[in-house]
């Protein structure tokens, strides 16, 4: 298959591209600079432009664009979070519709469900409350032109991905110094996924044309933040006895603390499981052993 990938230099994208290529797929990379290789095509989401030849003969587009959520959410940061997700999706969805590309696999977030507490949710659950839930809903809505044109649209509701980057890049140095600990009471659920499984799941979804709509990109065994903290400490051979009080987290990060650190989604990968996807790392212990 010929597959175009946007966000190919990011945490997930940089792992996805070589895996797709090694599986025999013809991979095109959408870049925001002057192309330096034959498989690169320039696009400019804020300007709403994309190389006319970028999607010629393409069977599927994978869009993984989105700026970091980390940091205190000023008005400018919130706007950047929205723009970095919705603008690229709008450009790609319209290009997919215009050029008749059969499939668009578009990133979204597990935060779509808001804070679910102990309530278990799969892809049938509705939108939750909060800034991130609203961003995810608008992000997914931006794929409408592609869906209306008859393309198969898959919404990748990503949970925290564990690998050499992302969340672990921040946590591992702290834990290795013996400064690891739970966030607040640690009861919030974490719908994690290993990077190898994230890449394998995207390839699986590209190749399985019968799957469309939202797909929870998380492992079948979610854990609480308390359990995650203990498991990471054990994996790194360091105690993790500390905890960060809610008040301290809110003082540093404002409302970002409530949605990113203190809220959780007890989400399960219903569609992946039903479709027969086999997780390489179904438990947190196997995932951490593989990626740390």
Question: In this predicted model, what pLDDT tens digit does every residue of 95-115 receive, in sequence order?
Answer: 999 999 999 999 999 999 999
Q: What is the mean pLDDT of the chain?
A: 95
Structure confidence at residue 271 as a pLDDT band (50, 70, 90): very high
Evaluate whether residue 240 is within a structural domain: no
Q: What is the pLDDT of residues 29-85, one digit of tens each?
A: 999 999 998 899 999 999 999 998 999 999 999 999 999 898 889 999 999 999 999
Residue 257 lies in a domain: no
Start-to-end CA span in the chain (Å):
32
175 lies in some domain: no
Return the SS3 of 157. strand
Domain of 136, in residue numbers: 2-162+191-219+268-280
Taking the whole predicted model, whether its pTM rises above 0.85 is answered as yes
Confidence of residue 166 (pLDDT cuts 50, 70, 90): confident
Extract the tokens encoding 238. Answer: 């360091």
Tally of structural domains, the chain: 1
The tokens describing 61, both together, are 């587009």
Q: Is residue 102 part of a domain?
A: yes
At 6, which CATH number? 3.40.50.720
- DSSP letter (8 states) at residue 67: -
Residue 156 lies in a domain: yes
Q: Which two tokens stand for residue 42?
A: 């320039």
Helices (H), the chain: 13-22, 75-99, 131-141, 144-148, 166-176, 195-207, 225-236, 246-253, 255-256, 270-274, 284-291
CB 172 within 8 A of CB 182: no
The DSSP letter of residue 47 is: G
Report the Cα 46 to chain-centroid distance in Å. 21
Q: Answer whether residue 226 is part of any domain.
A: no
Within a domain: residue 254? no
Task: Confirm if 142 and 86 have CB atoms less than 8 A apart.
Answer: yes
239 is a domain residue: no
Question: Do the beta carbons of residue 79 and residue 35 sit within 8 Å?
Answer: no
């Amino acid at each position: 298959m010929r597959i175009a990938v946007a966000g190919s230099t990011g945490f997930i994208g940089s792992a996805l591209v070589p895996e797709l290529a090694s599986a025999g797929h013809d991979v095109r990379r959408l870049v925001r600079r002057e192309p330096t290789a034959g498989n690169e095509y320039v696009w400019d989401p804020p300007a709403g432009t994309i190389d006319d030849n970028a999607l010629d003969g393409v069977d599927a587009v994978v869009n993984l664009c989105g700026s970091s959520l980390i940091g205190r959410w000023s008005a400018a940061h919130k706007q950047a979070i929205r723009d970095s997700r919705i603008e690229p999706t709008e450009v790609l969805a319209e290009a997919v519709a215009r050029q008749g590309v059969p499939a668009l696999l578009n990133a979204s977030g597990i935060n779509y469900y808001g804070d679910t507490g102990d309530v278990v949710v799969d892809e049938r659950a509705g939108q939750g409350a909060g800034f991130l839930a609203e961003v995810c809903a608008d992000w997914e809505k931006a794929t409408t032109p592609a869906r209306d044109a008859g393309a198969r649209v898959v919404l990748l509701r990503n949970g925290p991905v564990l690998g050499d980057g992302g969340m672990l890049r921040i946590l591992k140095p702290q834990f290795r110094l013996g400064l690891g600990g739970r966030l607040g009471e640690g009861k919030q659920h974490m719908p994690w996924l290993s990077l190898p499984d994230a890449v394998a799941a995207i390839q699986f979804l590209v190749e399985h044309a019968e799957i469309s709509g939202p797909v929870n990109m998380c492992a079948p065994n979610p854990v609480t933040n308390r359990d995650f903290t203990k498991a990471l400490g054990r994996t790194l051979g360091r105690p993790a006895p500390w905890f960060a009080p809610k008040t301290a987290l809110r003082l540093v990060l404002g409302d970002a603390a409530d949605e990113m650190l203190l809220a959780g989604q007890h989400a399960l990968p219903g569609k992946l499981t039903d479709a027969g996807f086999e997780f390489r790392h179904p438990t947190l212990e196997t995932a951490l052993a593989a990626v740390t």
